Chain A
Amino acid sequence: EAGVAQSPRYKIIEKRQSVAFWCNPISGHATLYWYQQILGQGPKLLIQFQNNGVVDDSQLPKDRFSAERLKGVDSTLKIQPAKLEDSAVYLCASSWDGAYEQYFGPGTRLTVT
Chain B
Amino acid sequence: RKEVEQDPGPFNVPEGATVAFNCTYSNSASQSFFWYRQDCRKEPKLLMSVYSSGNEDGRFTAQLNRASQYISLLIRDSKLSDSATYLCAVNDGGNQFYFGTGTSLTVIP
Question: Which A positions have Cβ atoms within 8 angstroms of B?
Answer: 31, 33, 35, 41-45, 48, 50, 55-56, 91, 97-107, 109
Contact = CB atoms under 8 A, between A and B. Distances in A.
A49 to B, nearest CB: 11
A104 B31 contact: no
Contacts of B41: 109
B68 interface: no
Given A98-B91, A99-B32, A45 B97 contact: yes
A98 B89 contact: no
Chain B interface size, under 10 / 10 to 19 / 20 to 34 / 35 or more: 20 to 34
Contacts of B32: 99-101
6 contacts: A33-B97, A42-B102, A50-B95, A55-B96, A98-B94, A101-B32
Q: Which of B6, B31, B89 has the most CB of A within 10 A?
A: B89
A31 B43 contact: no
A16 to B, nearest CB: 27
